[in-house]
Amino acid sequence: MRMRSVLGIAKLRPVISGGACVLLAAGPALAEIKISGARITEGQLWVLGQADELNAPVTLDGAFEQTTDNRGRFEFRVVYHPATCIVTVK
């Protein structure tokens, strides 16, 4: 992934339904990340989004990692319920 300046902080547009989770971006962004959906359903945290980097790693709270597909899309579907209901995607 290419590095960007501090001015290129990730833009997140969380769409929350079902659960009350909040998504945050921490520090300078390496890629622009857009969140298209975030919910807790069937006991799983489900986060859908897209990054401007293809086939690149994306992490959720530094504990779960996915790789974007050839269109930059990613999906986390994990049994994970943070106590604060706030997660960081980068």
Work out the average pLDDT over 9-23. Answer: 43
Using CA atoms, how far apart are residues 37 and 4, in angstroms rounded to an integer?
Answer: 25
Judge residue 78's burial from the number of C-beta atoms within 10 Å of its C-beta, 0-12 exposed, 13-18 middle, 19 or more buried: middle
Res 11: pLDDT: 39
What pLDDT digit, counting tens, does each position of 68-88 carry? 999 999 999 999 998 888 899
Work out the average pLDDT over 14-33. Answer: 53
Asked whether residue 13 carries a pLDDT value surpassing 90, the answer given is no
For residue 7, give every residue at least 6 positions away whose Cβ sits within 8 Å of its Cβ, in sequence order, or none: none
In this prediction the pTM is 0.66
